[in-house]
Structure formats: structure tokens, C-alpha cells
């Protein structure tokens, strides 16, 4: 089964200074060796992760590239495609969620065949379900 990790979860795994990082790392370590689970994240967030870590956190750019590379060996990058935009646009117009970026990622996760979307985002977590995918807010646990 596929667990799709939100960008905030990936940031927590790469930046242990974030307040939610200890909880995320604990959750990930509990699940990472479960051979029934394959982890994905939106590859389109790689630039955001790079920017946050290098510009805001002032981490050495080479270390950030190496960290993203290491993350990508355990968690498969999954790219958005045009259909994700079209589906997100319809969901946005239907007011399923007021964050278009999150809708893009959610539709991508559904397209990937994800069983669960893992996040710390309260708005997304409050959905509980999106299409055929369960949304798990690990902050609540």
C-alpha cells in the first residue's frame, strides 16, 4: 500500500529543529520498515524544500541536495501532471478545500493509488477522506 507524505512531513524528516519533527520522526521510524508500505512524496516540492532549508534555515546547499537525495532513496518522488491540475481546479471550484496547492498534491496522491495521505496540516487532516484515500493527521496522535 502507498502512503503519500505531505511536504510538511518531509521537511520534518530533514529539519529536526521544526517543532513537529520529533513526532514525525517517531511516526516514520515506526512505519518505515513495514514492507507492506511504499512511501511517496510530491517531487514538485523538492524546490520548496531546497528553498526553505537553504534560504530560511541557512543550511549548506550541498548538504540540502545530499539530504533530498537520501530522502528520495527511501521515499519515492512522484510528479504532478496536467490531470492533477484539472482535477484540483474542479475540486477548488466545488469548494472541497480552499487551498489549491493542497488539492493539486491530494489529486496526485490519489492518482498514485495512495491508501493514505500523511500530514500535519489541520485543514487537510480535517477532511479525513479524499476520494478513495484516508487522510491521517499525525499531529492528532
- Condensed to tens digits (0 to 9), the pLDDT of residues 36-49 reads 999 999 999 999 99
Long-range pairs for 85-88 at CB < 8 Å and ≥24 separation?
none
Reported in sequence order, the residue ranges of 15-132 that DSSP labels E, i.e. its strands, are: 38-42, 76-78, 114-119, 129-130
Query: 27 is in which domain, residue-wise?
Result: 2-140
| DSSP 8-class letter at 56 | I
* CATH number of the domain enclosing 49: 3.40.50.1010
Residue 141: pLDDT band (50, 70, 90) is very low
Beta bridge partners of 116: 3, 134
Residues 81-131 have pLDDT tens digits of: 999 999 999 999 999 999 999 999 999 999 999 999 999 999 999 999 999
How far apart, in whole angstroms, are the C-alpha atoms of residue 23 and residue 16? 10
Report the pLDDT averaged over residues 129-140: 90
Is the backbone of residue 117 left (phi > 0), alpha (psi -120 to 50) or beta? beta
Q: For residue 140, is pLDDT > 80?
A: no
Number of domains in the chain: 1
Amino acid at each position: 500500500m502507498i502512503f503519500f507524505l505531505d511536504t510538511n512531513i518531509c521537511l520534518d524528516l530533514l529539519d529536526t529543529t521544526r517543532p513537529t519533527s520529533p513526532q514525525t520522526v517517531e511516526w516514520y521510524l515506526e512505519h518505515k520498515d513495514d514492507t507492506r508500505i511504499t512511501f511517496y512524496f510530491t517531487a514538485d516540492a523538492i524546490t520548496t524544500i531546497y528553498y526553505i532549508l537553504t534560504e530560511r534555515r541557512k543550511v549548506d546547499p550541498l548538504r540540502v541536495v545530499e539530504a533530498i537525495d537520501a530522502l528520495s532513496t527511501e521515499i519515492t518522488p512522484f510528479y504532478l501532471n496536467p490531470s492533477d491540475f484539472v482535477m484540483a481546479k474542479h475540486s477548488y471550484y466545488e469548494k472541497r478545500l480552499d487551498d489549491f496547492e493542497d488539492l493539486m498534491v491530494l489529486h496526485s496522491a490519489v492518482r498514485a493509488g495512495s491508501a493514505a495521505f500523511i500530514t500535519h496540516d489541520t485543514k487537510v487532516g480535517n477532511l479525513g477522506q479524499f476520494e478513495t484515500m484516508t487522510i491521517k493527521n499525525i499531529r492528532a496522535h
